[in-house]
Amino acid sequence: MEIGFVGLGKMGMNMVTRLQEKHEHRVVACDRVPDLVAKAESTGATGAASLQELAAKLTRPRTVWVMVPSGAPTEDTVNTLADILEPDDVIVDGGNTRFHDDVRRAAALKSKRIHYVDAGTSGGIWGLQVGYCLMVGGEKDVVNRLAPVFTTLAPKDGWAHVGGHGAGHYVKMVHNGIEYSMMQSYAEGFELMSKSEYRLDLFRIADLWMHGSVIRSWLLELGAMTLKEDPTLEGLTGYIQDSGEGRWMLMDALDKDVPVPTLSTALFTRFRSRQDAPFSEKMLAALRRAFGGHSVRPT
């Protein structure tokens, strides 16, 4: 199958490479950074210096996969492609887009008879080797048309059409919310063990739990790898960023009156990790001093 790829960052480049390594697809790759286009060409892809050139090098009906940062970069890319592509062409958004935006974009593109597919993508930097889990939303016949690409990118049984426009990114949003919660649970357990009087070998325990325990997972396997390389994690700070899906899931849960306390804790812990001596904790210290005369530590 023939496909255009826009965005050659870590995920995009690895996806292009996986498609080329299978020798089943012709990929036209585009990025604003010429060196990245050249790197994609080294995998066997055809390079394009602009979206116009990319479209010109594809045979109709064309499929263009957008893999750029969420928000304005994706919005601008989709809008530009909408003015370049023609009826029956397809735009696939594989980034971390909020599902409401998918619904809006699909409706806008429909007036031009351009199809839109949202593909929630999970796999990170390991996807090149093991494949990407793809949660796909859009029109069923259009999704079926793209099945050869999804099948190549995913491991066996690793992709599914989950519903209409926005469903792919909605499922990916919930997936990432669960991921937040799982990571938080592991982090709390390992912190407690790190302070145990038993001087536990955390790598050994993480590795042990990978063999038959009910909490074994790929995340735990990655944790074991990390602890093997840096048992005390002294090479890291505790600053934790969030990519947005946890916030979106929390807002969706509020709209639907669905309690998600584990996600809430995980998300707010990330917020706290970015604060140095937060005002709230200073306020707590001041109140304890005010009502009980408790000691405080001055700056």
Tell me the per-residue pLDDT of 105-156, one tens digit each, with 9 for 90 and over: 999 999 999 999 999 999 988 999 999 999 999 999 999 999 999 999 999 9
The domain segmentation of the chain, as residue ranges, is 2-164, 172-275
Domain 2-164 has CATH 3.40.640.10: no
Q: How does residue 22 score in pLDDT terms, banded at 50, 70 and 90?
A: confident
- Whether the per-residue pLDDT at 178 is higher than 90: the answer is yes
Q: Report the C-alpha gap between 128 and 233 in whole angstroms.
A: 27
- Which pLDDT score, from 0 to 100, does residue 23 have? 74
- Which pLDDT score, from 0 to 100, does residue 124 have? 87
Per-position DSSP letters for the chain, written without gaps between them: -EEEEE--SHHHHHHHHHHHHTT--EEEEE-SSHHHHHHHHHTTPEEESSHHHHHHTSPSSPEEEE-S-TTHHHHHHHHHHHHH--TT-EEEE-S---HHHHHHHHHHHHTTT-EEEEEEEE-GGGHHHH--EEEEES-HHHHHHTHHHHHHHS-TT-EEEEESTTHHHHHHHHHHHHHHHHHHHHHHHHHHHHT-TT---HHHHHHHHTTT-TT--HHHHHHHHHHHH-TT-TT--------SHHHHHHHHHHHTT---HHHHHHHHHHHHHT-SS-HHHHHHHHHHHHHH-------
CATH class of 172-275: mainly alpha
Q: Which residue has the higher pLDDT, 277 or 206?
A: 206
Active site residues: 172, 179
- Which pLDDT score, from 0 to 100, does residue 32 have? 95
Q: Report the C-alpha gap between 178 and 184 in whole angstroms.
A: 10
252-295: per-residue pLDDT in tens? Answer: 999 999 999 999 999 999 999 999 989 999 999 999 999 999 99
Give the percent of the chain with pLDDT over 70.
Answer: 100
This prediction's pTM: 0.93
